[in-house]
Structure 1
Amino acid sequence: MKASPLQKGDKVGVIAPASPPNVENFNKALPFLKELGLEPVIGKHLYEKNGYLAGKDEERLADLHDMFRDPEIKGIICACGGVGTGRIVSDLDFGLIGRNPKIFWGYSDITFLHTAIFQQTGLVTFHGPMLSSDIGLDSVPEWTKKSFDQLFGTEDVIYPESLSTIETLVEGKADGAVVGGNLTLLVNSLGTTHEIDTKGKLFFIEEIDEEPYKVDRMLNQLKMAGKLSDASGIIIGDFKNCDPVKRDRSLSLDEVINHHIIPAGKPTLKGFMIGHSSPSFAIPFGAHGFMDTQDLSFRIESGLRKGS
């Protein structure tokens, strides 16, 4: 199930389903939506604060439901990630979401929502840069901004070869629905009703601020849970600031990734600027993707519905 593309003049809801946004960065980012020709509608509780959360669980949940319920809202963009979507995911009204398919856009902690929404409703969502976290920074790469073009068209999404150096870890071709996201949140889903399903799918992972020994733990858990062997292929996004700091002796991040990923034997490409990277390249979550290590290509069908 796919939402319709946005049109100039459309209203888009802006919510914070996890942590509160950096207000200064958020205010700097809002004009960008207007430059795109969109009219932002701020969630009622976006500025609320409850410790590290953007308000109480029921308030953040209400903002999300309100945006899906309102027929004037054509898309929903998350201001930032942080912490807390796992606290509200089991109370999502998936019937409401399924009856009102709309663009839903974000990443990081939003991974839990992407996974649950796609697996419960079939709605394709978007793993993409957010307002406070990315657009509100002092310097915003053009490719980060350009990712938002996906909101308006139905062309295939092709990762640009000029954006980063792509490496092959395991040779081969693969295709399937593209799922995954932040490594920590994917591991958090294991053993829950919303456990990530990678069977026959292209599985992408990314992370930030986790040392190699923690990445090692998480990849090992995914491996033991069968998530690597189930996948048709693996896409490795950005692992920002995942260098050894705490321990005097450490395996490198590459050694950890290679140890777990290569034996899975699935076609694997590495080096994508997807996730907490700058630039941050958006991809449709749940749309059908294709990868080929021979030409280092990664292509995904549009996350939006063609035709009326």
Structure 2
Amino acid sequence: MNKPRALKKGDRVAIIAPAGPTDKEQLTQGIRVLEERGLDVVLGRHVFDVEEDIDILDQNRLFDLHEAFRNPSIRGIFCANGGFGTARIAPKIDYAMIKGNPKIFWGYSDITYLLNAIQNFSNLVTFHGPMVASDLNDEERTTETESSILSLFTGEPLTYDSRNSPLNTITYGTGEGRLIGGNLTLLTNGLGTPYQVNTNGAILLIEEVQEPAFKVNLMLTHLQQAGLFDTVKGVVIGNFQAEPDEHKKIKKVLQDFFTRVSFPVVENFHIGHCQPNYGVPLGVNAKLTTSPPRLEVDSGVR
């Protein structure tokens, strides 16, 4: 898997919105965070577009994505926010061009579809991390969320343990492999397509937001019956945001589903729709241990 070059102060980065239009005030606040890190921020032409014609909408989103990768002055690409519809543009992406222009691509939620598609066809490490408008705005962001961007500058490996959040082990053991995954709904939507996540010999990360327990169970069962858990080396359970009563039901679903598997499973990582929201590279080697619970992840940049 090809690692993009690490960022340095003065680098130009682009912000695009391939999953939906962004809030201007929140985006401005998030841009300030990137600028304080010494980055020169440029906006994709269509980050604020609200277009009723779906074909035009997809063309515009694809234009910004391609322009950001094609422009040699841009060293990193950050998504503004989530939304829906990235699966529609996946078949139209010029993956050969992206492979020839490797750079940081950062986002999560609906962006999960693109994170996996780019890995599958461009052999490029991608990044599951907090987005500029939805996570780095003044109201939402925490110091930990903001600091996770620093890993793009240092090139140092990441260690996530109970100092970051109180981790809980569901199934004990040790697993090592590529860290892959993202939003559970998008992973399920990708099944049977060329953009399906490759779980063979991997550590699988899953997270979700505002889905009921019965649907979480349905999606996990779908992944299981599609064979995605047959050869995984471990599962990292990120945030499953839901109302308190529903969250209790989801925790039971996760416990019941993963209790008797043969690989290690650890939950309560603050990765996903939460604050803090820790960014992690996908496609690099990772090690999941349970005594004590800890996730070690290689750097995503070179």
Contact 1:18 1:83 in 2 (8 A): yes
Post-superposition offset of 1:243: 5.3
Moved more, 254-263 or 36-45: 254-263
Distance of 1:54 and 1:8 partners within structure 2? 38
Q: Does 1:301 align with 2:293?
A: no
**Count of aligned pairs:** 301
Aligned residue runs from structure 1 range 84-103, under 5 A: 84-103=85-104
3-state SS of the aligned residue for 2:229? helix
**Secondary structure at 1:74 match in 2:** strand
Partner of 2:72: 71
Compare 18-27 and 235-244 and name the one that shifted more: 235-244
1:1-308 matches, cutoff 5 A? 1-50=2-51, 56-241=57-242, 252-305=249-302
Q: TM-score, normalised by structure 2?
A: 0.96
Residue type matched to 2:294 in 1? S
- Secondary structure class of the residue paired with 1:27: helix
Deviation at 1:295, TM superposition (A): 1.4
Q: Deviations over 1:79-103 (max 9, x none)?
A: 0111111010111111001000000
SS of 1:252's equivalent? helix
The RMSD of aligned alpha carbons is 1.8
CA shift at 1:264, angstroms? Answer: 2.8
| 1:33 Cα deviation from its structure 2 partner | 1.1
Cα deviation code 1:53-101 (max 9, x no counterpart): 8961011001000010000000000001111110101111110010000
1:137 deviation in Å? 3.9
- Shift in Å, 1:125: 0.9
**Partner of 1:80: helix, strand, or coil?**
coil
Uncovered stretches (5+) of structure 1, i.e. residues with no partner: none
Identity between Structure 1 and Structure 2 (%): 39
Matched residues in 2 for 1:197 and 1:261: separation? Answer: 19
Farther off after superposition, 156-165 or 43-52: 43-52
> In 1, are the aligned partners of 2:171 and 2:261 still within 8 Å (CA)?
no
Per-residue CA distance 1:239-278 (angstroms, 9 max, x = gap): 0116556xxxx98112211222223321111110000110
1:274–1:241 Cα change, 3 Å: same
TM-score (normalised: structure 1): 0.94
In structure 2, give the amino acid aligned to 1:274. I
Deviation at 1:28, TM superposition (A): 1.6
1:183-215: per-residue Cα shift (whole Å, max 9, x none)? 000000001111111010000100001010111
Q: Return the offset for 1:47.
A: 1.0
